[in-house]
A and B are shown apart, each in its own frame.
Chain A
């Protein structure tokens, strides 16, 4: 049975490209593009893994991740965090919020697949 990944990202063409490569790699891909209700969407869809952008309309990825880590059912959910910046402070914020892994835009398709496979293999 294929693993389910939820992409929370507000850039539709990124969603489309990542969905394509992950589907081709055997993942079941779902997406959402709003920060407001992202936490409830994660809980409702119960994915095996989440790709979470930092800058989203409504709420930041850090806030969403902090909420996810505060809830028992999503405390250990693997989350790959995407950000457009790569400064040490952003990495620190992502780690503090509980990111399982951190990736800086622009990234390569191979990097995404490698990161996801590493996270589900844990």
Chain B
């Protein structure tokens, strides 16, 4: 059924809701009732002035009647259909469903959006419960205090004789432990309240760094000058950053900014902008290896520079979203620039199938892979990864490696159907996860622990 049918159906639905007859509405916009009837039954396309007149007469924005809104609804329904494992809804009937039952279709779409939102919350909370060092330490303290109270109380109620000095001592211990337990429990409840809010409760240096970089969209114009910086520029950035509170976060922030400055000197924005403009294609303009060869710098530097371009494309900035993740040789994530649709774990280890980790196995060998992430509804991403040595090369010393993975979204119209990933070729999408605990993939060779999505808590 043609999609244009939806516009007519919306006009009809709105007219009836307002209690207007076809003849009245037709007269208001200067057309015949029979012509309006054809429009409402999708026998005639409308647009331009007539659409504006109809939307004004019906008291709605034109976009509420046009295919833009309908396309968004249909896209959401299609997403909902592909996200239902084991169910085979009638994909061909989506437009028909939206046209004949717009209210129910909207309910379905809204429920799907709600599920996505809740899944994200579960991911964040589970991630935190499993790997958050602050939470682990707090839980340990609470349970240790409870243990001390239980053990001491059991001694005091034991009918066996106990010396008065010991009794007094245990009474004092219980009193101290009870006060400590109250404080710990209060702090933990406050923390857990914050944990439910994605951006609330800065809890770890990593959280503080992420907040710091997000607030600046990962770009620091102050560090881009090709002339020497005024003394104290980096100190000032650190000192005035509200997000950086702990000493550890400030140390991490300083190291990040020092590397940023070093990258900016090696690869100024203007040079990167020129190379991208002359690349000849969008693919080449975002290909780190191609740009690295053109600019005579290493690919990891290009990746970091692409991930901190200014927002304004006119100023040589981003033309689309960019994600970046870095890790050290132990696989610990050092830097995360999130990108919508490709989730990065906040704490703990990531999916071992990411090319980021494959790069560590083959240092200095660039990898290009197309990925889609389980639970992200078929979105595909082009990723580039490479592991490079850190610091100066020295004789008879094993170098330390650091890996980077640049993540770029592929066009939405190239969303792949769900099902087993194609296995061959660098452009065949490979299915990866976020981290084992929140990954629904079954029979994965990289699985370290059961998933709460398939096995429950």
List A residues at the B interface (Cβ < 8 Å): 11, 13-14, 16-18, 20-21, 24, 55, 84-85, 89, 105-109
Given A13-B177, A17-B152, the answer on whether A106 and B143 have CB atoms closer than 8 Å is yes
Q: Does B251 contact A (CB under 8 A)?
A: no
- B139, B140, B169, B449 interface centre (most CB from chain A within 10 Å): B140
A residues less than 8 Å from B173 (CB atoms): 13, 16-17
> If A17-B170, A20-B166 touch, does A84 touch B151 (CB 8 Å cutoff)?
no
Shortest Cβ-Cβ A-B pairs, 6 listed: A17-B151, A84-B143, A13-B148, A84-B140, A106-B147, A105-B147
> Which residue of A has the minimal Cβ distance to B153?
A17
Partner among B140, B146, B155, B176 whose Cβ is within 8 Å of the Cβ of A21: B155
Residues of A within 8 A of B137 (CB): 55
Q: In this assembly, does B248 line the interface, its C-beta being within 8 Å of a C-beta of chain A?
A: no
Within 8 A of A (CB), among B149-179: 150-152, 154-155, 160, 166, 169-170, 173, 176-177
In the complex, whether B144 has a CB less than 8 A from a CB of chain A is: yes
Contacts of A84 in B (CB 8 A): 139-140, 142-144
Residues of B within 8 A of A (CB): 136-137, 139-140, 142-148, 150-152, 154-155, 160, 166, 169-170, 173, 176-177, 449
Contact A17-B139, Cβ < 8 Å, known A89-B449, A109-B154, A109-B155: no
| Residue of B151, B155, B169, B170 ringed by the most chain A CB atoms within 10 A | B151
Decide if B154 touches A105 in the complex (CB within 8 Å).
no
Question: Of B147, B169, B177, which one neighbours A107 at CB under 8 angstroms?
Answer: B147
Q: Are A105's CB and B146's CB within 8 A?
A: yes
User: Please, which residues of chain A bring their CB within 8 A of the CB of B140?
Assistant: 55, 84-85
A18 and B151 contacting across the interface, CB-CB below 8 Å: yes
Q: Is the interface of B mostly helix, strand, loop or mixed?
A: helix
Take A16-B169, A21-B155 as given contacts and tell me if A11 and B147 are in contact as well, using a CB distance cutoff of 8 Å. yes
Identify the closest chain B residue to A16 (Cβ).
B173
Q: What CA separation (Å) do A30 and B155 show in the bound complex?
A: 19
20 additional A-B residue pairs with CB within 8 Å, beyond A14-B148, A55-B140, A106-B150: A11-B147, A13-B176, A13-B177, A16-B173, A17-B170, A21-B151, A21-B155, A24-B160, A55-B136, A84-B144, A85-B140, A85-B143, A89-B449, A106-B143, A106-B146, A106-B147, A107-B150, A107-B151, A108-B151, A109-B151
Complex Cα gap A1–B132 (Å)? 46
List the B side residues contacting A18 at CB < 8 Å: 151
Contact of B144 among A16, A21, A89, A105 (CB under 8 A): A105
| Shortest CB distance B133–A (Å) | 10
Docked Cα-Cα span, A14 to B449, in Å, equals 32
In the complex, what residue of chain B is closest to A17 when comparing beta carbons?
A: B151
The contact of A108 among B136, B145, B150, by CB within 8 Å, is: B150
Q: Closest residue of chain A to B180, judged by CB? A: A13
Chain A residues in 8 Å Cβ range of B147:
11, 14, 105-107
Q: How far is the CB of A81 from chain B (nearest CB, A)?
A: 14
Nearest residue (CB) in B for A89 is B449
Q: In the assembly, what is the distance between CA of A18 and CA of B144, in Å? A: 13
Residues of chain B with a CB closer than 8 A to A11's CB: 144-145, 147-148
Residue of A with least CB distance to B172: A13
Closest CB-CB distance, B166 to chain A, in whole Å?
Answer: 7
Known: A55-B137, A85-B139, A108-B150. A17 touches B155 (CB 8 A): yes
Bound complex: CA of A90 vs CA of B145, how far in Å? 20
Name the distance in Å between A4's Cβ and chain B's nearest Cβ.
20
CA gap between A107 and B150 in the complex, in Å: 8
A17: chain B residues within 8 A (beta carbon):
148, 151-152, 155, 170, 173
Bound-complex Cα distance A85 to B140 (A): 7
Contact B143 A105 (CB under 8 A): yes
Query: Which residues does chain B contribute within 8 Å of A109, judged by CB atoms?
Result: 151, 154-155
- On chain B, the residues within 8 Å of A55 by CB distance are 136-137, 140
23 contacts between A and B (CB under 8 A): A11-B145, A11-B147, A13-B176, A14-B148, A14-B151, A16-B152, A17-B148, A17-B155, A18-B151, A55-B137, A84-B142, A85-B136, A85-B139, A85-B140, A85-B143, A89-B449, A105-B143, A105-B147, A106-B143, A106-B147, A106-B150, A108-B150, A108-B154
- B139-A20 in contact (CB<8A): no
- Residues of A near B150 (CB, < 8 A) are 106-108
Least Cβ distance of A110 to chain B in Å?
A: 8
**In the bound complex, how far is the Cα of B136 from the Cα of A108, in angstroms?**
22
Chain A residues, CB < 8 A from B160: 24
**Whole-angstrom CA separation of A113 from B142 in the bound complex:** 23
